[in-house]
Structure 1
Amino acid sequence: MQVVKKINNNVALCCDNNGQELVAFGKGIGFPKVPYELTDLSLIEMTFYKLNAQYRRLLTELPEDILTLSSQIVQHARATIDRPLNPNIVFSLADHLNFAIIRLQKQQDVPLLYSYDIEQFYPQEMAVGQYAVRLINQQLKIKLPTAEITAIATHFLNSQVNVDIKVQQEQQIIEQVMRLIERCFQLQIDRQSFTYNRFVLHLNYYLRRLQQSQPTPSHDQNRLYQIFKQQLPQIYQCACDVSALIDQAYQTTSNQAEQVYLMIYLQRIIDNSQTEQLGGEK
């Protein structure tokens, strides 16, 4: 492989044996005088072909240590998360990390909170978030807020490549669920809101767990289930209708724990809708 242009000490523009241009990540590959022939290909950690203009710009604008850290985190994620990731996540993650660090240095408030429901449902992604924050804090001698664990975990959730051929069916089911909820409560769900996007994320993985016969961990939630059933019967009934719709589509059986989480999300959607209504009336 021919190294033709240094981007930084660990990233270089290269040319493979077929004459194809690529960007390669590898410790020290940009350090020697270019151009040169790289014979030890074991030094190469990641390669990227046909990078668009945005990612090429990021390579020149982002600090070298941030790109290196992002590369380490993505390598760890690929060994931890058992689903395929967007091949260009190293760039988008580096951009996110750089912004988070700048925000910290300027002492700007971080609006996100640590999410215990993401921790519950997506332990692999949260483990990567914890690893990333720990690595960054150690390497850069800073202290990122705990909220960044959730932010990084969500970044990996959003960057997963859905290779399931039933993705269109999933989208159709989710839209049916939304229309059902709107009919149940006579409201219009704001599809741009944070609450909506979190709920869709939850539904996506709910559907995939059911298809893979991996039910939601059923901790002792009977008390909360009974509270909803007795004190919030409309939310309880809507959650039952949503789970019935999904189970009918996939020939599955949702457990009580999943219904409890549906009820919690439904309560959030209602609260969010009422808050928007009050805001519009002022």
Structure 2
Amino acid sequence: MIIKKIFNNNAVLAKDLSNREIVAMGCGIAFKKSVGQELEEKEVEKTFILKEKEASERFKLLLEHIPSEHISICYDIVEYAKNTLKVELNDYIYVTLTDHVSNTIKLYKEGITRPNALIWEIKKFYPKEYSVGLKAVQAINDELRVYLSEEEAGNIALHLINAQVNNSFENVSDIANQTKMIQDILNLVKYSYGIVLDEKSLSYERFVTHLRFFFKRLKNRKENEEKKEEFLLKQVKEKYKKAYECMLKIEKYLNEKLTEEEQLYLILHIQRITD
């Protein structure tokens, strides 16, 4: 590999034999070296090859302003998340997560902490991502000698959720908003029926999963794609009156005019979860 640019003593931009741009990292990898010199592979500890051009350019900017140890630990977190969650993550996770973690550490050293109001909802609805977040916080605390709280695991989980390929949400705030809405809707169902829902039941899990896809449909739907289910909806409204009334409360909460198909599916799920 030939050095193309030196970010600091521990990180460089290089070109490999296939003429691909690679960010190479290693302790003292660029010490006493200059652009154009060859980089020995034994000196390289980690390499980044980001396919998305915009993500790659943003990542290079991060290297100029963020400590290399922050970048290194976030790289390990992303790789651990990929292997644990068994999902494909967008390249931008290297940028967004690294920027977030580095800024969080900076604020921590200044005595500033940011509470996560959705920590319990994240633990409940995204247990796998939250578990990875806990491991990430432990690794950050151990390696960088800081003490980030459990709430930071929730923040990291939100970044992992957002980075999953085929996720239609655009940013972390969308995921956070969706998580709050799921909890609010579950509360509406519970209070409408005056019951405690079995959170370990298959019906509960299906309902939460349906809500996630339901929000995606609300976000992306087009008027000309709406399907009419007038006859079936009329029958369901008459048969499951209480579920229908509960659905109307959810519709009012969302402040969104639902299609008849969306109303139908919500009524059926509410009936199933409360039966």
TM-score, structure 1 length as denominator? 0.58
Which residue in the other structure is 2:179 paired with?
Answer: 198
Q: Could you tell me how far apart the structure 2 residues matched to 1:85 and 1:195 are?
A: 18
Q: Could you tell me how far apart the structure 1 residues matched to 2:139 and 2:87 are?
A: 22
Q: Could you tell me how far apart the structure 2 residues matched to 1:259 and 1:71 are?
A: 44
The answer as to 2:22 corresponding to 1:22 is yes
Counterpart of 1:117 in 2: which secondary structure? helix
Counterpart of 1:48 in 2: which secondary structure? coil
User: Which residue among 117, 122, 127 is the counterpart of 2:121?
Assistant: 117
Counterpart of 1:59 in 2: which secondary structure? helix
Q: Could you tell me how far apart the structure 2 residues matched to 1:26 and 1:258 are?
A: 53
Q: Could you tell me how far apart the structure 2 residues matched to 1:248 and 1:24 are?
A: 54
* Deviations 1:74-94, CA, capped at 9 Å, x for gaps: 111111112210113122211
Please give the residue correspondences for 1:1-282 in structure 2 after superposition, counting only pairs within 5 Å. Answer: 1-25=1-25, 29-31=29-31, 33-34=33-34, 35-39=37-41, 43-48=45-50, 50=53, 52-113=56-117, 115-162=119-166, 196-198=177-179, 217-218=200-201, 234-235=245-246, 245=261, 254=269
* Deviations 1:89-127, CA, capped at 9 Å, x for gaps: 122211101111122222224131362232222222111
Contact 1:218/1:255 (CA < 8 Å) preserved in 2? no
Contact 1:115/1:150 (CA < 8 Å) preserved in 2? yes
Contact 1:69/1:136 (CA < 8 Å) preserved in 2? yes
What is the one-letter code of the residue matched to 1:162?
N
Task: Give the paired residue count.
Answer: 212
1:133: Cα distance to partner?
0.7
Counterpart of 2:49 in 1: which secondary structure? strand
TM-score, structure 2 length as denominator? 0.60
* Deviations 1:139-188, CA, capped at 9 Å, x for gaps: 1222112211110100111111118xxx6xx99xxxxxxxxxxxxxxxxx
Counterpart of 1:17 in 2: which secondary structure? coil
Question: Percent identity, aligned pairs only?
Answer: 26
Q: What runs of 5+ residues in structure 2 fail to find an aligned partner? A: 184-198, 205-239, 252-257
**CA-based RMSD:** 4.4
Q: Could you tell me how far apart the structure 2 residues matched to 1:193 and 1:91 are?
A: 18
What is the one-letter code of the residue matched to 1:198?
T
Q: What runs of 5+ residues in structure 1 fail to find an aligned partner? A: 172-191, 203-215, 222-228, 261-282
Give the 4+ runs in structure 1 shifted more than 6 A: 192-195, 255-260
Counterpart of 1:145 in 2: which secondary structure? coil
